[in-house]
A and B are shown apart, each in its own frame.
Chain A
Amino acid sequence: MPEIYDMIIVGGGPAGLAAGIYGSRSRLKTAIIEKGRPGGQAATTEEMENYPGFFNGSTGPGLIEKFVAHAAYFGTEIIRGEVADMELKGNVKKLITTKGNEYFSHALILSPGAEPRMLHIKGEGELRGRGVSYCATCDAGFFEDLDVVVIGNGDAAIEEAMYLTRFANEVTVIVIHDEGTLDCNKASAEKAFRNPKLKWIWHSVLAEIVGDELVEKVVIKNIKTGELSEKAVDGVFFFVGAVPKTKFLEGKVDLNQQGYILTNDLMETNVPGVYAAGDARAKYLRQVITAASDGAVAAVAAEKYLSEMETFRGQVLEQQVPVALLFWAPQAEESIVAINRLESAVEGTGIRVAKLDTYRNQKIAGTYGVTVTPTLLLFRNGEVVGRLEGESSIEQIKSLFQ
């Protein structure tokens, strides 16, 4: 029998690390499967001072280092690997990595995160790594005393543009909006407008990146006049949002049209025992603090699910004798009738009777596809071997037990 974790978290960014902290602190056997180093996008975001308690010179990598140490302190295991496939039906979820390793867990938290969006502008793909970049901390050093353009005007774009001014000679931000309008937060915008090394090109977009082996110039399109102009630059940094890394989840959990994972307020996906947290989830605000919040909610909801399932395992799945489990509603007349008939039918059979309030145990009901109350399931050695839906006679129940 392979080892079964209580909670496996897929992805070790801020959401996954927070879930790991909550899970292992609740003494659950918790592991994070992470492809590379933990930290996610926050680990490559130098300028970051909006996480409460961390300001005045604190950085993304610095914050993440503390998250990782915190998870390790409570005993979260970090497994290196990339999940390629998973089997989510049933009580034990199975994960298979690209290297073919298999892991098993009772609850699963999906926090795969997001990655920078590419615009697929002419020259972007060809010149990637030769002046086209999506990571300022990776590549800023190359552009000392050179000129770069930044595409985008959200928080990431403006904060990374300011970081780039520490290296580059001149940083020009190309903004699609009218003069003075930025999508980023006001504090960053004010700071950026005061920075003498930042230049601005308004109501414009990038039309093309030109260069033979290295970036030489860009073609900029003024969206008001349609006019094209050229600017000689050595680097182009894109910060135009992100796309969720959820390709491997297609057909496994419900995603929206953009590929974000759909959950409710408890971070539950449409699959019982499977939760989602962080930037890959469909939500309003994608920041380290909301990722950490998602992770905490998901871990606590998963913990409740696990204890519900543990009771169920003890009373039903792990019984040596057959168990007749009735999904019922205590207030409904037909459920009372069903219970009485069931108790008559089991007499002398050695079958154990168990009942679950369908409404209060929706996860278990969901796991077994129970949509009708009452529904009777017969378990032998943890497997469903018989099923009766709706009103049944004593004879029907008896014949189920044959």
Chain B
Amino acid sequence: MLEVDKATFETEVLQSGELVFVDFWSPACAPCLDLLPEVEAFAEKNGGRAKFCKVDSGANKRLAISQKVMGLPTFAFYKDGEKVAAFSKDEIDMSAIQDKLDELLS
């Protein structure tokens, strides 16, 4: 997964021509670390279908807030510079995220 920060978010995510998945996480967030292996597996499995990024929201707090993210973990999908779907905290279920990805690509 591509590590994105405040300097690269604009070009890598908002200006990307493809569908982008972003994992807003931080090293202090235990539930985020719990999910990390599943997220990595999800990104690997769907490699080539979309772009998979993660943002350390502890180090890029203002960026996260600008994206209306004020709680971790939050997973979001971006298309043509717009956030088109977001999942947060206990809404996160990797099979629902997979369904959303498939839906957004269809």
Contacts and interface: CB of A to CB of B under 8 A. Distances in A.
B69 interface: yes
Nearest to A132: B71
B30 A139 contact: no
A80 B69 CA distance: 29
A214 B88 CA distance: 13
Contact of A138 (B32, B65, B68, B91): B32
B84 interface: no
Given A130-B88, A142-B65, A37 B33 contact: yes
Contact of A142 (B31, B71, B86): B71
A131 interface: yes
A115 B68 CA distance: 25
Nearest to A125: B91
Interface in A30-72: 35-37, 39, 43-44, 61
Contact of B29 (A130, A138, A213, A215): A138
A141 B64 CA distance: 11
| Contact-residue size bin, chain B (C-beta under 8 Å from the other chain) | 20 to 34
B30 A142 contact: no
Question: Which residue, of B57, B58, B70, B72, has the highest number of chain A Cβ atoms within 10 A?
Answer: B70
Interface in A81-130: 115, 128-130
Nearest to B88: A129
A234 B73 CA distance: 18
Contacts of B64: 142
Contact of B26 (A39, A141, A143, A213): A141
A130 B30 contact: no
Nearest to B69: A129
Interface in A306-328: none
A112 to B, nearest CB: 14
A76 B9 CA distance: 42
Contacts of B61: 141-142, 144
A139 B71 contact: yes
Nearest to B76: A129
A139 B31 contact: no
B30 A61 contact: yes
Interface string B3-36: 0000000000000000000000010111111110
Given A37-B33, A128-B91, A137 B28 contact: yes
B32 to A, nearest CB: 7
A35 B61 CA distance: 28
Interface string B52-96: 000001100100110011111110000000000010111100000
Given A129-B86, A129-B89, A130-B88, A139 B34 contact: no
B37 interface: yes
B58 A141 contact: yes
Contacts of B29: 135, 137-139
A130 B28 contact: no
A139 B89 CA distance: 11
A37 B30 contact: yes
Contact of B70 (A39, A131, A135): A131
A244 interface: no
B70 A235 contact: yes
A290 interface: no
Given A128-B89, A129-B69, A138 B34 contact: no
Contact of A128 (B31, B57, B88): B88
A142 B57 CA distance: 9
20 contacts: A35-B34, A36-B30, A36-B31, A36-B33, A36-B35, A128-B88, A128-B89, A129-B69, A129-B74, A130-B71, A135-B29, A135-B72, A138-B28, A139-B71, A141-B28, A142-B57, A142-B65, A142-B70, A234-B70, A235-B70
| Across the A-B interface, the 10 shortest Cβ-Cβ residue pairs | A129-B88, A36-B34, A129-B71, A138-B29, A213-B68, A43-B30, A142-B70, A44-B30, A138-B72, A131-B70
Interface of A: 35-37, 39, 43-44, 61, 80, 115, 128-135, 137-139, 141-144, 213-215, 234-235
Given A44-B31, A142-B70, 5 more contacts: A115-B90, A133-B70, A139-B29, A142-B64, A215-B70
